[in-house]
Structure 1
Amino acid sequence: MLGTLWEWWRRKTPLVDAVFMAPLIVLSVPMAWNAYDDIGPPPYLLLTLALCLPLVFRRSYPRTVFAIVALVSFAQWGAAIEPIPANGAILVGVYTLAAGQPRVWGIAAALVGELGAVMAALRYAVNPGELKAIFVMLTIVVWSVWILGTYISTRRAYTRSVEERAARLERERDTEVQMAMAAERARIARELHDVVAHNVSVIVVQADGASYAIETDTAKAKEALETISATGRHALAEMRRLLGVLREGDDAGSYAPQPGVGELADLMDQVRSSGLPLEFEVVGVPPELSAGLQLTIYRIVQEGLTNTLKHAGPEAAATVRLHYGDQAIEIDVTDDGRGAAAADDGRGHGLAGMRERAAVYGGGVEAGPRAGGGFQVSARIPVREEART
């Protein structure tokens, strides 16, 4: 409640300024009835109002208000009217310009106030000693007010910079979150491509085999159909797991772990069951690998075999060689199929995905037809902190 009232009060700047102006009027009015010269109360009342009323609009029109107050004070000096408390309006104007306007306007207002101090000392001092005292006192007051206004201006600028920095950091945080979400979606898209392309390739090969064998070898046709069923279920399970990552606020439970090098043997069995002769060779002692690096190795091998199933042809055979070296992990997926003669529909993203995955760990992928026929995919991933022997 108090906070709401304070915010309302701060928005009513003319009302606030009128409240702060009231003490000047209260202190000046009694002098109108106690005036010791011959001009009488009305001129004092008019002078008080002329000095104080413009202050109501000091924050809306600070320079105009200061100019009016300064001119009224100059007219008072020219008419030799004694200073009154309402002359403090000139100090309010100096503070307003120093606190809320560019530095040059604050300095200009202070110089005008200093000029007023000199003129007041010359006009109202009785003797040289009093002249000096009045001048020093008024000078100290004018520049103290200017220093206070300058400090408030600096403080406000600092507060604004802190608020702007906080707002900028919040925007940058939101941008980073959006970028992270976009990167995660791109990763999931690559995962979906690997999963769907590999499993659909296996299903297509098995379906072709079943169509050839259904009339001559029922057992093999049945085995092919069982492989198609199992592969389809596996593909659906992985797709559900990956798409589930995109669900916001889904706390249904943890998803299945990402495949790694331990699942490569199952991948080889799955590919062999599709009818592709396959050799799997592991050289060296596998080091301790992070989950991300294991997934990268698995997907590179999977994508290489998917390309073989799609493009190598019906009589092809493949070899997968995984070499764990001291400096790098090397992956070779080769086949003796069509090679350069294989048709390319231009819509695949497998090679690009493999290169992106390897690049994350500072590695690279080379792919192309072999000199003696067939196709080869070779990847090399340096052993860094991700792989500790």
Structure 2
Amino acid sequence: MSTTDSHLNAEWQRPTPSGPSLRKDLWVTLVLAAATALSVSLTRSAGVFTEAPVWQVALWVALITLPLALRRRWPEIVAVTVSVVFAAGAMLEASDMLFSNICLYLAIYAVGAWSRHRVAAKWVRVTIVAGMFIWLFAQLIVQANQLTMMPDLSREGFFSPYAAFGVLQVLINLVYFGAAWYFGESAWKSARNSTALKDSTAALTVERERTAAQAITLERVRIARELHDVVAHHVSVMGVQAGAARRILSSAPGQAADALTIIEQSARSAVDELHTMLGALRGHDAPGSEPTNQSSSTRGIAQLGELADESRTAGVPVRLSIVGEERPIPATIGLSIYRIAQEALTNTRKHAGPGVSTDLRLRYETDAIELEITDDGVGPRRQFGAAVASGASAETTGLGQRGMRERVAAVGGELHLDSRPRGGYLVRARFPLMKRETV
């Protein structure tokens, strides 16, 4: 037996049987008592075990069968009681040849299957089995010296017919007690394994529910981040253009109309992206969820030029430069770069003040790709300080900066946010890439 099994044997206890189970045991015991009484009557009618008075026989039938109704509640006490009554019935010749053995078998089996004290269960069975074999050997020795007992079996020779009879009795009892012991232990282990399986299933169910809840929470965070990036970007563009249109509406109606056109385009773009996002949530097969040509989940480095154009149209000049040899990068990193650039440009329009210009640089390095957005604005800014992707900052930041950190952390990158010494603001995100193989 392994160490784990020994530990389980010492710790686990089989639950006490319920009321319906005990009532079932009572009915089984009553049927067994009736069958034992019938068996004793037939045995006495056949001229065997006729010495005991009827009242002793009736008492013996009651004592060897009725305790079995509690064999699953107090198995050790029942087993000892039935064993003593079994031996007494045989010595008083108040027994039978069949159901007394069935009763003793059930009692020993119940100790193995239902005892909640395994050490006591082992020693109770050892004591019963040892006592029965001592009694058997004593009977064989006594009968060997009594020629009137089974006179047809010769006692002569090294292996006489009587010796063969004795060996046969020993083998029968070995099988009998061995089966009661083995099947009792098997029933107990089966119940233990069944309980362990149920516990494991329950634990897995709880873990699955917890994981599902975490997945839902993470998905909500992701959706909130995407909605913030989409809405904040387009609304900021519309806000800037609406302000410009208001100021020049009377003096330059043509330019005001151009600004209103930009507002309309931004609104349509925002609606398209929201439609795509919500369609993905409903599922590709859901009615009305047809994807657009360019969903938010497929945006990446290729769309940085569009961001720069939108920013220029909104009145904030952007110089876009790409340094290094372009090469494919994972889609998750591409989307993070796009969203961080979008958020940084949105913040520039909102906070940098008038007359600001922005540099948007993308650098391809040997084992990383770096995005850097700088501006020369003079508007009020929050001082976030340097921060790594883990977001280990004690200051309360806006949703935009928090979203940047979450995106960078999700792909194992680093994020730096800080004011520039000469004025303006710096956003730098660095993402590790696998090194390219060299020939």
TM-score w.r.t. length of structure 2: 0.76
Q: Which residue of 2 aligns with 1:127?
A: 144
Would you say the 8 A contact 2:416–2:427 is kept in 1? yes
Kindly provide the amino acid, as one letter, of the partner of residue 260 in structure 1.
G
Is contact 2:26–2:69 with CA below 8 Å preserved after alignment? yes
Inter-partner Cα distance in structure 2 for 1:288 and 1:367: 26
Q: Does structure 1 retain, via aligned residues, the 8 Å contact 2:245–2:255?
A: yes
How do 1:330-341 residues align onto structure 2 when only pairs under 5 Å count?
Answer: 330-338=370-378, 341=380
Q: Is it true that 1:295 corresponds to 2:335 in the alignment?
A: yes
Cα-to-partner distance string for 1:344-370 (whole Å, 9 max, x where unaligned):
895612222212212222211101111
- 1:149-171: CA deviation from partner (whole Å, max 9, x where unpaired): 11232233233333433343343
Aligned partner of 1:56 in structure 2 is: 69
| Structure 1 range deviating more: 130-139 or 371-380 | 130-139
TM-fit CA distance, 1:68: 3.6
Q: 2:25 corresponds to which letter in structure 1?
A: P
Partner of 1:4: none
Give the drift of 1:83.
5.8
**2:369 counterpart SS class:** strand
- Partner of 2:417, secondary structure, is strand
Q: Is the 8 A contact 1:25 1:52 kept in 2?
A: no
Post-superposition shift, 1:31? 1.8
Partners in 1 of 2:22 and 2:81 — Cα distance? Answer: 25
**1:110 match:** 125
**Counterpart in 2 of 1:85?**
98
Q: SS at 1:288's partner residue?
A: coil
Determine if the alignment matches structure 1 residue 355 to structure 2 residue 405.
yes
What is aligned with 1:3?
A: none
Do the aligned partners of 1:277 and 1:316 also contact (CA within 8 Å) in 2?
A: yes
Q: Contact conserved, 2:43 with 2:96, CA < 8 A, in 1?
A: no
AA in 2 matched with 1:216:
S
Q: 1:93, 1:109 within 8 Å by CA — same for their partners in 2?
A: no
Question: Residues 284, 20 of structure 1: CA spacing in aligned structure 2 closer, same or farther, 3 A cutoff?
Answer: farther
Paired residue type of 1:317 = S
- 2: CA distance, partners of 1:346 / 1:57: 68
Q: Distance in 2 between matches of 1:388 and 1:178?
A: 41
SS in 1 for 2:143: coil
**2:196 matches 1:161:** yes
Cα displacement string for residues 84-128 of structure 1 (whole angstroms, at most 9, x for unaligned residues): 433321221111110122422431331242223423553585127
Deviation at 1:80, TM superposition (A): 6.0
* Aligned residue among 30, 38, 48 for 2:42: 30
Query: Counterpart of 1:145?
Result: 180
Report the number of matched residues. Answer: 379
1:336 Cα offset (Å): 0.4
1:14 corresponds to = 25
Select 1:217's aligned residue among 236, 248, 252.
Answer: 252
CA distance in 1, matches of 2:205, 2:407: 31
Q: Which residue of 1 aligns with 2:217?
A: 182
Code of the aligned partner of 1:97? V
| Cα distance in 1 for residues equivalent to 2:356 and 2:306 | 20
Aligned-residue Cα RMSD (Å) equals: 3.3
Q: Does 1:280 align with 2:320?
A: yes
Alignment gaps of 5+ in structure 1? 1-8
**1:77–1:120: 8 Å Cα contact kept in structure 2?**
no
Q: Which residue of 1 aligns with 2:427?
A: 377
The range that moved more, 295-304 or 83-92, is 83-92
What is aligned with 2:359?
Answer: 319
Q: CA deviation at 1:206?
A: 1.3
**Which residues of structure 2 form unaligned runs of 5+?**
1-19, 146-162, 384-394
Per the alignment, residue 207 of structure 1 pairs with 242
Does the C-alpha gap of structure 1 residues 112 and 352 become closer, same or farther in structure 2, counting only changes over 3 Å? same
- CA 1:325–1:12 in 2, change beyond 3 Å: closer, same or farther? farther
Q: Which amino acid aligns with 1:103?
A: R
Q: Is the 8 A contact 1:51 1:86 kept in 2?
A: no
Structure 1 residues 112, 24: closer, same or farther in 2, change over 3 A?
farther
Change (3 A) 1:315 1:58: same
Answer whether contact 1:322 1:331 (CA < 8 A) is retained: yes
Amino acid corresponding to residue 261 of structure 1 in structure 2: I
Q: What letter corresponds to residue 351 of structure 1 in structure 2?
A: Q
How many angstroms does 1:146 deviate by? 0.9
Percent sequence identity is 30
Q: Secondary structure at the match of 2:51?
A: coil
Q: CA deviation at 1:188?
A: 1.0
Residue 302 of structure 2: aligned partner: 262
* 2:108 corresponds to 1:94: yes
SS of equivalent to 1:46: helix
